[in-house]
């Protein structure tokens, strides 16, 4: 058996590693900033670019796609080559992948503060960036699969299975959820409307957590944890079961984000059942990880890398226990829209993703630089700062969540709601401050890691191309793995038929889906009408400003909600909402019926409140939107928007588009006139007028006779 010699590419690994740590610090800094904005709203909200609503998507996108994303690629490029005993297929593809991904991140960092956003959580980036993501993702997949094909090791280690599942599923999710109709380079409308858009979004949103934050990191866990402990995984058999069970269950769990909403009940039930079953593979994986260290717990005491990994796997266990619990209707009824969810995601994000990333960085950087870690002591300091940071973050947020939920739901003996919404906001102040302290601890740890990593890099030299040797795959096996599966299909007519059917169906779906969806947008409630041009423009400003990051538009059928916000929300009310704006968090009150019933306020109230929220509602944490008074409304887009809506099936009259601006000005002047009566002089062509028009419209349709 002849050995072939070849070289591992460490340079790409190094590049992704540096990107991981730098973007990590950036993303966490933005996170700390938005956390502090809730403590010092008037000081830290720098309108318009750095208001909470624009920065919060920047934080989530940065930590998910920049920090964790680069972490995934770092780990995949390192482990894939070694597991398959081959260099990555193409250095050019690796380079395109690396720089393409960084460009996407930079584009996100620029566009999100500018308010260029689709307002779909974790998919806020506009369509040109969506296309760039698709291209780079294909480059990644091409590079990975070509590497798998030219491998020198027949067996695919379980980690690789996790990487493959990640690639395939994220590709599908991204494509389906990003179906949008552009009206300009920086603005598009989601093809789906209302409840359909919500379902697609949370099918995506949940699976982004599953297949971007979980499966690739499980692959990394199965590679780097045994490596760091220098002992095999507790049970390889269990790891295989973990993999297959997890991926078959995960894609069905999305609807648990929409419990008690207007989503059909049976879909909610499917989501609950699969979410609950997920606890078994998840805990199987956690136990497998922890038991890998059986008999080696003395090492954990000594080795800071293992400490990071143990906390990571424990956090994985905690959040995957909590996830299924939160998917139960009775618990979800309490937890949804509260800060409990913020605690939950940060146990996962800071604990599982963060700690595993840092563990891998500390293990990997000295290896590819042929040196020792610059300072074990600093790494230990980092470990304790990070661990305490997670606790200081999560505990106040859990407390805040329980408190919020119970205050929202409490009635007095006479049957009145006990607390004004604003009282629940001011009650949160100390918890938000403590949470920010947790963030400070965690971020300082990350900065120490950055210094430690760069010092380590400084004292070593990169082995850009690491020599390695392995025997070539035996010939019959190349045939077996390379061509065999296709031959197998070719010999059997039935699988061939099924496969070709799938291919045909995909083509057909691309053609059919758009019309299919437009047709189903026929309103189910006759009194629900399309937005007026001014309201539509106002809605787009609402989308641009990221109002959904704090305000929901979904009244659940509980007495505590219908008393506070009015009649519960119905699917038929959202048929013209491209995109849906149900939100997932109530830092501020629900706005689904802001324009109707008890919640109805005057135009003047809205004007003053948008200009300076804390002047109207003492203790409000909402940023000022005074710049809306200065900004002119871009009416040039109105006909384009009306036409786009018509394409999506919104029944504006034919020929309405050119006349839309006239209608817009009539309504705008009415609002300006009513403001003038109260002594507020504002021209009718300002953005604030459109926002007021939209807020006044919210929830009014079903009351019309």
Task: Write out the residues near other proteins by the rule CB under 8 A.
Answer: 2-6, 82-83, 85, 155-158, 161, 164-165, 168-169, 172, 176, 192, 195-196, 199-200, 203, 223, 226-227, 230-233, 236-237, 239-240, 244, 247-248, 251-252, 264, 267, 367, 467-469, 472, 480-481, 484-485, 488, 502, 505-506, 509, 513, 516-517, 519-520, 571
Question: Among 68, 313, 83, 114, which Cα is nearest to 211's?
Answer: 68
Q: How far apart are CA 200 and CA 254, in angstroms?
A: 9
The b/e string for 402-438 (b: 16+ C-beta within 10 A; e otherwise) is: ebbbebbbeeeeeeebebebeebbeebeebbebbbbb
- What Cα–Cα distance (Å) separates residue 188 from each residue in 509, 514, 543, 578, 596? 21, 15, 11, 9, 29
Nearer to other proteins, 175 or 388 (CB): 175
Of 379 and 517, the one with the shorter C-beta distance to other proteins is: 517
C-alpha distances (whole Å) from 569 to each of 8, 191, 260 are 57, 22, 10
Residue that has been written with the tokens 């940065």 in this structure:
62
Q: Which is nearer to other proteins, 185 or 509 (CB)?
A: 509
Q: Which helix (H) or strand (E) holds 452?
A: helix 429-459
CB closer to other proteins out of 196 and 549: 196
Given the complex with other proteins, which of 232 and 679 has the nearer CB atom?
A: 232
Identify which of residues 85 and 585 has a Cβ nearer to other proteins in the complex.
85
> Least CB distance from residue 115 to other proteins, whole Å?
27
Q: Phi-psi region for residue 597, left (φ > 0), alpha (ψ -120 to 50) or beta?
A: left
**DSSP SS3 for 653:** coil
CB of residue 203 to other proteins, shortest distance in Å: 5
Shortest spacing between CB 235 and other proteins, in angstroms: 8
- Any residues with CB less than 8 A from the CB of 585 and at least 6 apart, and which? 337, 338, 341, 342, 549, 550, 552
Least Å from the CB of residue 237 to other proteins? 5
C-alpha closest to that of 262 among 574, 505, 524, 44: 574
Report CA dihedral (196, 199, 203, 209) to the nearest 10 degrees.
130
State the nearest-atom distance from the C-beta of 489 to other proteins, in Å.
9
Q: Which is nearer to other proteins, 472 or 680 (CB)?
A: 472
* Strands 187-190 vs 3-9: parallel, antiparallel or unpaired: unpaired
Pick the closer one to other proteins by CB: 502 or 526.
502
Selection from 174, 170, 165 nearest residue 145 by Cα: 165
**Cβ 193 to other proteins shortest distance, Å:** 9
Residue 281 beta carbon to other proteins: minimum distance, rounded to whole angstroms = 13
Angstrom distance (rounded) from CA 78 to CA 595: 55
Nearest distance in Å: CB 452, other proteins: 22
Q: What is the DSSP letter of 191?
A: S
Ramachandran angles phi, psi of 190, nearest 5°: -60, 135
What are 541's two structure tokens? 């400003």
DSSP label at residue 585: B
Task: Give the list of residues 6+ apart from residue 679 with CB closer than 8 angstroms, or none.
Answer: none
Six-digit token pair at 230?
Answer: 């220098």
d(CA 147, CA 500): 26
Choose between 267 and 450: whose C-beta lies nearer to other proteins: 267
The minimum distance between CB 591 and other proteins, in angstroms, equals 24
CB of 141 to other proteins, least distance (A): 13
In the complex, minimum distance from the CB of residue 528 to other proteins, in angstroms, rounded to a whole number: 16
Nearest partner of 272 among 209, 317, 319, 330, judged by Cα: 330
**Which one, 239 or 327, has the nearer CB to other proteins?**
239
CB of residue 268 vs other proteins: minimum separation in angstroms? 11
Q: Toward other proteins, which CB reaches closer, 298 or 467?
A: 467
Three-class SS of residue 540?
Answer: helix
Compare residues 211 and 358 and give the one whose CB is closer to other proteins: 211
Q: 163: closest CA among 186, 190, 183, 144? A: 144
Alpha helices in 369-420 (DSSP H): 376-409
Q: Which is nearer to other proteins, 254 or 595 (CB)?
A: 254
Residue 502 CB, nearest approach to other proteins (Å):
6
Shortest distance in whole angstroms from residue 56 CB to other proteins: 27
Positive or negative torsion for Cα 501, 506, 510, 513 = positive
Of 165, 10, 4, residue with least CA distance to 81: 10
Q: In angstroms, give the least distance from the CB of 236 to other proteins.
A: 4
Q: How far is the CB of 652 from other proteins (least distance, A)?
A: 22
Shortest distance in whole angstroms from residue 520 CB to other proteins:
4
The smaller minimum CB distance to other proteins, of residues 247 and 335, is found at 247
Nearer to other proteins, 155 or 705 (CB): 155
Secondary structure class of 188 (helix, strand, coil): strand
* Smaller CB separation from other proteins, 49 or 248: 248
Which residues, including other chains, have CB under 8 Å from residue 276's CB and lie 6 or more apart?
324, 327, 328
Q: DSSP for 593-638?
A: TTTSGGG---HHHHHHHHH-HHHHSTT--PPP-THHHHSBP-GGGH
| Closer residue to other proteins in complex, CB, 108/258 | 258
10 Å Cβ neighbour count for 696? 20
Nearest C-alpha neighbor of 459 from the set 394, 334, 372 = 372
HEC-encoded secondary structure of 17-73: HHHHHHHHHHHHHHHHHHHHHCCCHHHHCECCCECHHHHHHHHHHHHHHHHHHHHHH
Smaller CB separation from other proteins, 202 or 694: 202
> In the bound complex, what is the minimum distance in angstroms from residue 77's beta carbon to other proteins?
15
């Amino acid at each position: 058996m002849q050995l072939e010699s070849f070289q591992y590419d460490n340079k790409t690994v190094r590049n992704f590693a540096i990107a991981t740590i730098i973007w990590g610090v950036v993303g966490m800094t933005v996170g700390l900033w938005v956390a502090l904005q809730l403590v010092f709203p008037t000081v830290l909200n720098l309108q318009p670019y750095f208001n909470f609503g624009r920065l919060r998507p920047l934080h989530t996108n940065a930590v998910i796609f920049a920090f964790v994303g680069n972490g995934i690629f770092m780990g995949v490029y390192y482990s894939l080559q070694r597991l398959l005993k081959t260099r990555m297929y193409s250095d050019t593809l690796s380079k395109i992948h690396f720089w393409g991904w960084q460009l996407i991140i930079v584009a996100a960092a620029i566009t999100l503060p500018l308010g260029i956003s689709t307002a779909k959580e974790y998919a806020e980036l506009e369509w040109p960036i969506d296309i760039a993501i698709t291209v780079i993702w294909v480059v990644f997949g091409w590079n990975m699969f070509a590497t798998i094909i030219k491998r020198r090791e027949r067996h695919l280690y379980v980690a690789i299975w996790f990487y493959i599942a990640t690639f395939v599923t994220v590709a599908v999710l991204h494509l389906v959820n990003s179906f949008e109709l552009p009206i300009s380079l920086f603005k598009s409308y989601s093809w789906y409307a209302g409840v359909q858009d919500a379902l697609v979004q949370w099918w995506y949103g949940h699976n982004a957590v599953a297949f971007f934050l979980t499966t690739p990191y499980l692959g990394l866990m199965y590679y780097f944890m045994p490596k760091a402990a220098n002992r095999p995984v507790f049970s390889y058999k269990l790891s295989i079961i973990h993999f297959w069970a997890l991926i078959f269950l995960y894609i069905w769990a999305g609807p648990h984000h929409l419990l008690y909403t207007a989503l059909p009940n049976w879909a909610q039930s499917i989501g609950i059942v699969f979410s609950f079953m997920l606890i078994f593979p998840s805990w199987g994986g956690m136990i497998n990880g922890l038991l890998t260290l059986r008999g080696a717990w003395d090492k954990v005491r000594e080795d800071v890398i293992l400490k990071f990994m143990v906390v990571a796997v424990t956090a994985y266990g905690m959040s995957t226990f909590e996830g299924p619990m939160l998917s139960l209707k009775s618990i979800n009824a309490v937890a949804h829209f509260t800060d409990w969810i913020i605690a939950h995601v940060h146990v996962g994000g800071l604990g599982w993703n963060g700690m595993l990333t840092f563990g891998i960085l500390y293990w990997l950087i000295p290896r590819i630089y042929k040196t020792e870690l610059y300072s074990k002591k600093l790494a230990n300091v980092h470990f304790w700062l990070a661990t305490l940071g997670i606790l200081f973050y999560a505990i106040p947020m859990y407390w805040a969540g329980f408190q919020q939920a119970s205050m929202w739901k409490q009635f007095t003996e006479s049957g009145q709601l006990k607390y004004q919404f604003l009282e629940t906001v001011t009650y949160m102040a100390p918890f938000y401050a403590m949470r920010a302290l947790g963030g400070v601890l965690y971020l300082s740890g990350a900065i120490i890691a950055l210094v430690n990593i760069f010092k380590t890099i400084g004292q070593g030299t990169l082995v850009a191309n690491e020599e390695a040797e392995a025997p070539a795959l035996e010939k019959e096996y190349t045939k077996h793995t390379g061509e065999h599966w296709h031959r197998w299909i070719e010999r059997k007519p039935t699988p061939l038929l099924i496969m070709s059917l799938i291919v045909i169906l995909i083509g057909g779906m691309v053609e059919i889906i758009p019309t299919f969806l437009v047709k189903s947008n026929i309103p189910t409630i006759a009194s629900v009408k399309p937005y007026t041009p001014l309201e539509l423009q106002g809605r787009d400003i609402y989308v641009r400003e990221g109002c959904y990051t704090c305000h929901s538009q979904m009244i659940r059928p509980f007495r505590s909600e219908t008393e506070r916000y009015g009649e519960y929300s119905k699917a038929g009310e959202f048929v013209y909402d491209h995109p849906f704006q149900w939100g997932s968090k109530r830092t501020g009150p629900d706005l689904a019926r802001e324009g109707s019933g008890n919640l109805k306020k005057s135009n003047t109230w809205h004007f003053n409140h948008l200009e300076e929220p804390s002047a109207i509602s003492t203790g409000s944490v909402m940023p000022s939107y005074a710049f809306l008074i200065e900004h002119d409304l871009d009416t040039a887009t109105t006909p384009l928007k009306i036409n786009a809506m018509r394409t999506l099936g919104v029944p504006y009259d034919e020929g309405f588009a050119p006349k839309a601006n006239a209608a817009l000005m009539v309504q705008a002047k009415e609002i300006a006139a009513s403001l003038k009566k109260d002594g507020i002089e504002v021209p009718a062509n300002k953005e604030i007028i459109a926002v007021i028009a939209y807020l006044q419209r919210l929830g009014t349709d079903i009351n019309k006779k």
